[in-house]
Structure 1
Amino acid sequence: MSHNFTPFPVLETERLTLRALTFEDAKAVFGLRTNKEVIKFIDRKSLNNLSETRAFIDLISNLVTNNKGVFWVIESKSNHQLMGTIGLRNFEDEENYAEIGYELDPMYHQRGFMSEAFDKILNFGFQNLDLKTIEAFTHKNNTASIALLEKQKFVLHPERREEGFENNRSYRLENA
């Protein structure tokens, strides 16, 4: 099973537009990916400047162009602000599997925005991509992320670990 993300699948919810990442997003993405609260539980190299941010955007664009992943900006319909990101990647065609990743600016926490985006992405993954399993890895102490996953009916798989990230835990959602 191969995926085709051209044209890019722009998705909408009541309050959000989920759209492609562009170079115009560099400043907002830099702010998001260097925010201490956002990266508190994420073990990745932090961006140092806008040049590195543009290189990250280029990497994501190539991933989408080559149909190896799909990465949406979560944008407010009311003010067109970048609120966060969400994406599917690490597709395994034989298992109809993908991994979901997400981050949200703390100023938008606890207002249901990520749940709204999640609903749309999960539906897209199961309906449009014919996925059977979507997996999320989250830090064992990230209670907000765990609560979101549990609300979305993801199930903890304590025996599964993400290689190189011993503090991350696997949560999976199977399409019924």
Structure 2
Amino acid sequence: MHNGILKTERLNLRPISEQDVENIHKLHSLPETDEFNTLGIPKDIAETKTIAEKWISENNLENNKSYTFTVELIEEKEFIGLMGINLGKEKYKNAEVWFKFDFAFWNKGFATESLRKIIDFGFETLQLHRIEAGCAIENIGSISVLEKVGMLREAHTRQLLPLKSGWSDNYGYAILSTDLRK
């Protein structure tokens, strides 16, 4: 990890910065991205700025428990999404991963590529034991990404997510440091 940047073949995952606020706002405002998301569409850029500033200050804590990355195409230097990993209690050595991508970049393997990198970062750099993720049961795209990297579905939680369409059930996924990564 160089300057906090994680690199894959096609992508840079770098800690988000002030310069990303406009792109994050655009991403959060997309109805396609909002469909399975509990955040809701921001009412204005000030709301997005507040969220981003919280992420930035967490990224900069010495004892960081919450990493939020901008995902950008290396060649085009283009913002395509966000990826985060939030650590649980130290003793549990666990964390939850999440991601959001602009729908223009779906089905190109970018989320899978980023998630693999974040999982490696979690197990190798952060020395975690268990990494979890959750998604709405109708979120076919995210389910596919989680399964492609080797995460296993462990839970089906009823009506957990307050989505725009109503209460949604949630699938809980996890991968252990001892599991096979794909």
- The count of residues paired between Structure 1 and Structure 2 equals 170
2:37 is matched with: 42
Stretch of structure 1 that moved more, 9-18 or 57-66: 57-66
2:13 equivalent to 1:11: no
What stretches of structure 2 of length at least 5 have no aligned partner? 162-167
Question: Contact between 2:10 and 2:73, CA under 8 Å: does it hold in 1?
Answer: yes
Aligned to 2:109, which of 101, 107, 112? 112
- What secondary structure sits across from 2:22 in the alignment? helix
Change (3 A) 1:141 1:81: same
2:68 equivalent to 1:71: yes
- The C-alpha deviation readout for 1:118-157, integer Å capped at 9, x for no partner, is 1111100000001111000100110111011111111111
CA distance in 2, matches of 1:142, 1:8: 33
Question: Contact between 1:84 and 1:103, CA under 8 Å: does it hold in 2?
Answer: yes
Stretch of structure 1 that moved more, 162-171 or 143-152: 162-171
Q: Tell me by how many angstroms 1:81 deviates.
A: 1.1
- TM-score, normalising length from structure 2? 0.87
Aligned to 1:88, which of 85, 89, 107? 85
2:169 aligned partner, one-letter code = N
Aligned to 2:133, which of 127, 131, 136? 136
2:57 equivalent to 1:62: yes
CA distance in 1, matches of 2:3, 2:52: 15
2:33 aligned partner, one-letter code = V
Question: Contact between 1:69 and 1:91, CA under 8 Å: does it hold in 2?
Answer: no
Q: Tell me by how many angstroms 1:105 deviates.
A: 0.7
Question: Contact between 1:71 and 1:86, CA under 8 Å: does it hold in 2?
Answer: yes
What stretches of structure 1 of length at least 5 have no aligned partner? none
1:175 aligned partner, one-letter code = S
1:169 is matched with: 171
From the two aligned structures, give the one with the greater strand fraction. Answer: 2
Change (3 A) 1:21 1:95: same
Report runs of 4+ in structure 1 exceeding 6 Å deviation.
none
- What secondary structure sits across from 1:150 in the alignment? helix
2:124 aligned partner, one-letter code = Q
Q: Tell me by how many angstroms 1:94 deviates.
A: 1.1
2:26 equivalent to 1:31: yes
2:164 is matched with: none
- TM-score, normalising length from structure 1? 0.89
Question: Contact between 2:10 and 2:74, CA under 8 Å: does it hold in 1?
Answer: yes
Aligned to 1:150, which of 147, 150, 166? 147
2:8 aligned partner, one-letter code = T
Change (3 A) 1:162 1:87: farther
CA distance in 1, matches of 2:154, 2:60: 32
Q: CA RMSD in A?
A: 2.0
